[in-house]
Amino acid sequence: MGPRKRTAEAFEPFKDVNHGSRSQSGSSQGGPVKKARIANSMAGSSRDTPMLIDDDDDDDDDEGLEENPVDPHEHEYHFVLYGTMPTKIVGLRYYQGYADVGEKLIVQREPHNQYDKNAIRALNLGGDQIGHIPRTVAQKLAPYMDDRSLVIEGHIVGEHNSFDCPIQLQLYGTNDPVARDRLMEKMKAAKLPVADVRDRVRRAERERKEALKAASKRRPSSEFVGSSSHGIGPGPTLSDIIGSSQIINPRSIEQVVEEFGVKEKDLAAMRKAPQPQALSTELHPFQLQGLRWMLEKEFPQLPVHGSRDVVQLWQRHPTRPNDFTHVATNYSLRDPPLASGGILADDMGLGKTIQVIALIMADRERGPPVAGVSNATLILAPVSVMSNWSTQMEKHIQKEHALRVMFYHGSRKQKIDPQEIGQYDVVISTYDSVSTEWHAQKETKLPRKSGVFSVKWRRVILDEGHNIRNPNAKKTIAAWNLMAQSRWVLTGTPIINNLKDLYSLVRFIGLSGGMDRLDIFHGALIRPVTLGHAQGNKVLQLLMGDICLRRKKEMSFIDLRLPALEEYVHKITLYPHEQEKYDALRAQAKGTLDVYRRDLQGSQGAKDAGATYRHLLEVLLRMRQLCNHWSLVGEERLETIMTQLEADGVVDLTPENKAALQQMLQLSIESQEECPICLEPLRDPVITKCTHIFCTSCIERVIETQHKCPMCRAELESLQSTTVKPSKELSDPLPTPPSSSSLFSSSLFSSSSDPKDPSTPSSKISALLTILSASKSQDHTTKTIIFSQWTTFLTLLTPHLLASGYKLARIDGSMSAPARDAALHALDTDPDTTILLASLAVSSVGLNLVAANHVIMADSWWAPAIEDQAVDRVHRLGQKRETKVWRLVVEGSIEERVLGIQEDKRKLMGLAFAEKDGGRGKKRTGAGLADLERLLGSQTQRPRE
């Protein structure tokens, strides 16, 4: 049978059983859409200032970044190849699907097939069924696919006839040693291919060790150890402190971008767009280059005849010049649709906002939009930066060309009518506003009658676009379903945790060729890169080089003339009574880790291990908090509630048990856990009598319809009778002083320094005050941002700062937008306000903090990108003074190991732009066994004499 003609309609890139379908944006024919020009069509405006449709209901404060995105398929992402299995697809004559040799397949269970309950069907990447796997093969594989112990991938290996087609299946399974041995024995009994898996595992382990060994040689030295003191007499000078601290470049690992990725000289040689006439601000040359790149990416073109170019992973077919082949999936189409848009991933402070404003104005100069497309741009942003967009538009656009802006946010927002949206040029909303609107209706058909989903926007801009990196999150699904001609993601960190972060961005932009499916994206990109395959690295570099533009402040052609940035790790030695508490916590954690190992191998398996794992994470959190101040540790969960829970699965809501449940709930709040229903950071959280934690609105809907806990199926009669809300006392700034617990005896809290008293400074607070004092002595105009992920620590720190004579301001997620603006105004304009206390999650995005020139990281965040963003709020365009960053780290503690985790994640960020780097990323949603062992390393430290 000869090759069949393919059309773009064979592929529905946004078709999904859960999310409905949506047509592909961009040009499907590869040529630019001609836009009619009319003189001064949008010049001038009856409104020079934005129209504000807003209220004070900060009901969608989405600045809290998801530290640990939850994924129900997480365990599958580290599967390794067990073996390959030659077989065929049968029944071709009954189906219209077609695939070329080498093309990847979708291998999918069909448990409700009326003829065979074990049926497995094979589809091409357009979703068209080609046929079925033979019944005898399906009978063996179906049980493993059903219990998710194996992931099956496949591709065409030969020409087909009218009846069947030869294929090869790849079987991937767990790499956990215990589970792997069990699975292998089971597969051997079923006569499935596992003969070479041990060799594969040994080879992968050998390569992993070699990569780690090579990476360790590049790791900055951390041998030099300093200490801090705070007491009577003249304190050390700033030079003394710098001399006793380790100079670091935490982002040096990203230099692989320049070494292997798009060369700096190529970025410097990019062509520039003309300065938009409507702008009052002169753009930097690199910003004009970015503008031209964005204008071109809004109207991409397929490679011309005879070209070997690759555009959005499509290239001309080698033997059929009128067709195109996808280099990652081998999927072939006659006219593949191209996405319009991309990822602007410039470093923080390089002006992504003004480049987007320039894009909007330059596009208006071309003429009106194509038929059926609104002229308006929709911008989604965190609440804290909404006003920044309108402010920047007023600042950079000439008044006679002012944009008409609507703020679409809050319970009293104005209704969006598709017939009247032409009154506005820009609509600014938030992720949660759009998410709430999408999920408020079950109807997935587009367009809707009103609201943001009733309009096909000229473009949609996702500011801080990494907010949609969790593909299961409600706001991600909502963003995918927005209709637009062009789609843009603005983020300085396209990768925060692992390569799966890219999937949601790629799907939002609208890339075709099968990359909109997570299983295909994983098989074609994530797994090959994770396993160190050269082809995977090549695909990743081609992808990012095409859809993503990233410039760094350090590049010579950027020429920002920023003052120097110096970053230090300042090592701190715990006081003896702090060390005693820390050692007790670490001993408890190691004991719990031993139990966790046994649970993984026990008959109860994941059930027992899950409960132990939660205990272990709690202790790890407390270890990190103790490094800041012992009073943050609080009281461990009561033994009585755990005993009752283990016996009955639920607890009685007595006053004592309610208090214990509230303590558990507070732990989840402080840890920024996610709701397992909506997969978003907890909002208005409650804890059930079976100790599971949800958003109130999420669990309320489940109780109304099912009356069972979605996690354990325990009976939940009503919201009021089966759930507990946070305690008002636990919401107070300072936690209750710790009491006797099973972690360590109350005698540990009886030292001469009276550690029960929160006013007693910890070793870290003493070090922090020493740095501030030395900085002030050197330059009294120095202003410092103190970042912490725990607002309780900022509150605890406040009286020490006030007692030392500092005037300060504060910004955190609990404050209203006006209160935040007032704090920032004080930092900018009041010379006496020299310190800003800042919540790391809230203040790492969207703020301009150039009024300060020193940064103190009081504790370390798991994701280094969050810390880097926070630093870039200070060291950016507009900074006139040399910037110093201090990372306070307790020597020999879990904090040092967090720095190692950060380094691994930075390597992955570099790899996204690298062509030859063989590094590999590791998902950090929760910690694997090796990661937990790493965090609880055997290194010890001597307490201060």
Q: Which residues pair with 317 in a beta bridge?
A: none
What's the CA gap between 789 and 794, in Å, rounded? 9
Residue pLDDT, tens place only, 398-410: 999 999 999 998 7
Beta-carbon contacts of 842 under 8 Å, excluding residues fewer than 6 positions away, are: 63, 64, 384, 811, 812, 813
Q: Both tokens of residue 528?
A: 């090959």
| pLDDT value for 742 | 32
How far is the C-alpha of 98 from the C-alpha of 335, rounded, in Å?
A: 16
Which amino acid type is present at position 78? H
Residue 914 · residue 532 · CB < 8 Å: no
| Calpha distance 247→239 (Å, rounded) | 13
Identify the bridge partners of residue 886 per DSSP, sorted by sequence position: 568, 856
- Evaluated on CA atoms 130, 131, 137, 140, the torsion sign reads positive
* pLDDT of amino acid 901: 66
Can you identify the CATH homologous superfamily of domain 576-749? Zinc/RING finger domain, C3HC4 (zinc finger) (3.30.40.10)
Taking the C-alpha atoms of residue 663 and residue 774, their distance in angstroms, rounded to an integer, is 39
537 burial type by CB count under 10 A (0-12 exposed, 13-18 middle, 19+ buried): buried
Question: Any idea what the Cα angle at residue 603 is, between residues 599 and 606, rounded to 5°?
Answer: 50
Spatial separation of the C-alpha atoms in residues 286 and 352, rounded to whole Å: 11
Find residue 788's DSSP bridge partners: 839
| Binned average pLDDT, 10 residues per bin, the chain of 945 residues | 33 33 34 31 33 37 39 66 91 90 93 93 92 95 92 92 92 82 87 73 68 57 35 56 58 40 80 95 94 96 91 92 92 93 90 95 84 93 86 93 90 79 92 91 85 95 92 92 97 78 94 92 87 83 90 82 88 91 84 76 56 71 88 57 53 74 69 69 81 84 82 83 69 34 33 55 94 93 93 92 95 82 91 94 76 93 74 86 93 82 61 40 43 60 39
Nearest alpha-carbon partner for 546 in 326, 332, 272: 326
The two tokens of residue 180 are 């792997």
Q: Please identify which residue in the block is written with the tokens 């032409």.
A: 422
Separation in Å, CA 552 to CA 82, 256, 258, 461, 652:
41, 12, 10, 21, 56
Handedness of CA 819, 820, 821, 825 (dihedral sign): positive
**Residue 278 contacts residue 365 (beta carbons within 8 Å):** yes
Taking alpha carbons only, the member of 359, 176, 350 closest to residue 876 is 350
At residue 274, the pLDDT reads: 96
Separation between Cα atoms, residue 307 and residue 70, nearest integer Å: 43
| Per-residue pLDDT at 932 | 67
Helix axes 606-628, 576-601, angle to 10 degrees: 170
- CA 713, 475, 294 angle in degrees (round to 5)? 155
Phi, psi at residue 437, to the nearest 5°?
-65, -40
Cβ atoms within 10 Å of 492's Cβ, excluding its own? 22
What is the pLDDT, as a whole number, of residue 262?
64
Sheet of 324-326: strand order equals 314-316, 324-326, 332-333
**HSE value, Cβ hemisphere, 13 Å, CA-based, for 488:** 31
Q: Mapping DSSP to helix (H, G, I), strand (E, B) and coil, where does residue 909 land? A: helix
DSSP H or E run through 566? strand 565-572
- Model pLDDT, residue 862: 63
Q: 665-676 burial, b for 16+ CB within 10 Å, e for fewer?
A: bbbbbbbebbbb
Which residue in 145, 215, 250 sits closest to 532, CA to CA?
215
Look at residue 34 in the predicted model and tell me its pLDDT: 31
Residue type, 557: F
Evaluate whether 699 touches 689 at the Cβ level (below 8 Å): no
Q: Find out if CATH 3.40.630.30 is the number for domain 261-300+337-549.
A: no
Name the residue among 676, 679, 706, 678 with its Cα closest to residue 693: 676
* Structure confidence at residue 67 (pLDDT): 36
Count CB atoms within 10 A of the CB of residue 371. Answer: 5
Q: Give the per-residue pLDDT at 253.
A: 37
Phi, psi (degrees; rounded to nearest 5) at 696: -55, -50
What is the pTM for the complete model shown?
0.62
- In this chain, the answer to whether the domains covering 74-201 and 576-749 adopt an identical fold is no
Using alpha carbons, select from 289, 293, 324, 329 the residue that is nearest to residue 310.
324
Question: Do residues 312 and 512 touch, judged by C-beta distance below 8 A?
Answer: yes
Secondary structure tally for the chain: helices H, strands E: 29, 26
Do 434 and 427 form a contact (C-beta atoms < 8 A)? no
Give Cβ neighbours of residue 642 (< 8 Å, ≥ 6 apart): none
Name the strands in the sheet holding 723-724, side by side, starting at the edge strand that comes first in the sequence: 693-695, 685-688, 723-724
CA 215, 216, 221, 226 dihedral sign is positive
Helical axes 763-778 vs 791-803, angle rounded to 10°: 50
Distance CA 271, CA 499 (A): 30
CA distance 264 to 253: 16
Cα–Cα distance between 914 and 833 in angstroms, integer?
43
Q: Give the position of tokens 């600042």.
A: 395
Cis peptide before 864 (omega within 30 of 0): no
- From 464, 344, 258, 253, select the one nearest 905 (Cα to Cα): 253
The tokens for 420 are 């009247």
The domain spans of the chain are 74-201, 238-254+562-570+756-935, 261-300+337-549, 576-749
| CA distance readout (Å), 782 to 239, 519, 881 | 15, 51, 9
* DSSP secondary structure of 325-349: EETTT--EESS-----EEEE-PPTT
Predicted confidence at residue 649, as pLDDT, reads 58
Asked whether 839 and 794 are in contact (CB, 8 A), the reply is yes
d(CA 174, CA 600): 13
Q: Report how far apart, in Å, the C-alpha atoms of 12 and of each of 20, 120, 162, 316, 792 are.
A: 11, 22, 26, 21, 49
229-255 in b/e burial notation, b at 16+ Cβ within 10 A?
ebeeeebbebeebbebbbebebbebbe
**Rounded Cα–Cα distance for residues 499 and 518 (Å):** 11
Domain 74-201 coded CATH 3.30.70.2330: yes
Name the maximum alpha-carbon separation found in the chain: 91
Distant-in-sequence, close-in-space partners of 683: CB < 8 Å, separation ≥ 6? 675, 695, 696, 697
Backbone angles phi, psi at 747, to 5 degrees: -65, -20
CATH class label, 238-254+562-570+756-935: alpha beta
pLDDT (0 to 100) of residue 598: 76
Distance CA 16, CA 154 (A): 21
- 357 and 552 Cβ atoms separated by less than 8 Å: no
